[in-house]
Structure 1
Amino acid sequence: MNQSEFLKTVMPFKDKVFRLAKRLLVSTEEAEDATQELYFKLWNKKENLKEYKSVEAFAMTMTKNYCFDRLKSKQASNLTLVHSNYKEKDTSLDKKTDLNDSVSIVHQLIENLPEQQKIIIQLRDIEQYEFDEIAKMLDLKPTAIRVSLSRARKTIREQLIKQHNYGIN
């Protein structure tokens, strides 16, 4: 596989890889490093990529595993929390503040979910993967994915309602 074939194969899902890494590692810099590391690993395996039914699913699984390894390592204590990825133009300051607060609350609620639910909500609701694809990536049954996703959404919904009604975290 030459460089142009490789790029044509792996570049379409580069943003998805980055977003998953950002969701798991939080830090933009760490997510960029993880994305770069993943593409380096994929390049080293370029001759074997044709063996996979879905290179994208393989890459997402590698990303998940790499991020978990990073979080388990000593370097994880150096990860910084940065949430500056939401911007909207032509909005009043009050509304902008409320939107930023809501987005931050949802991000925080997702971060507080168990790891499996966090990954599933990222892959399904943000990356828009199908249940079968997520099942292959996480080595779970589609019904387990649906149950976990339902529980994650319910938890987030209940916490948001609580937050908006009572101002409680």
Structure 2
Amino acid sequence: MKEQTFLNIINPFKDKIYRLALRLLTSKEAAQDATQDVIIKLWKQNDKINDYANVEAFAMTVTKNYCYDQLKLKQNNNLRIVHTNYDNNEISGQRQLELKDEMQWINEILKTLPEQQQAIFQLRDVEQYEFEEICKIMNMKNTAVRVALSRARKKIKESLIKQHSYGIG
């Protein structure tokens, strides 16, 4: 297949690929990269493209799978970073105590939050779930999840600031 023929097939739904990637990856840059990578994958399979009854549906499936793979890589990388921070033997005993103390305070503050905010904070900031997944899990709209998360973070921040200011003075 010639390049122009391929582009004529792909161009009508190229924006849909981008929008799906943006929704799954939530970053414009990551979505642009994903769109380019998906189009390259499709180009590498251009000899088989005419075999698909619905090329657009196939392209969207490739996009979804690519984005999920990227999210898994991102989560694994985040976990590796977290584990590296905790496994690092070079962290001083003082710093380890500070981190432990900070985590205890956060856990105590979390207990004072409404159950819904606790769950959303856990899912997003600890478990690293995407907002779309949290909406499904919590059976809530995106806006409500974002508001609840914002309130939870604000309460934690205010409580930590208050604790630290009392501890200093």
TM-score (norm 1): 0.49
Larger Rg: 2
Larger relative helix fraction: 2
TM-score (norm 2): 0.49
Higher relative contact order (CA 8 A, sep 6+): 1
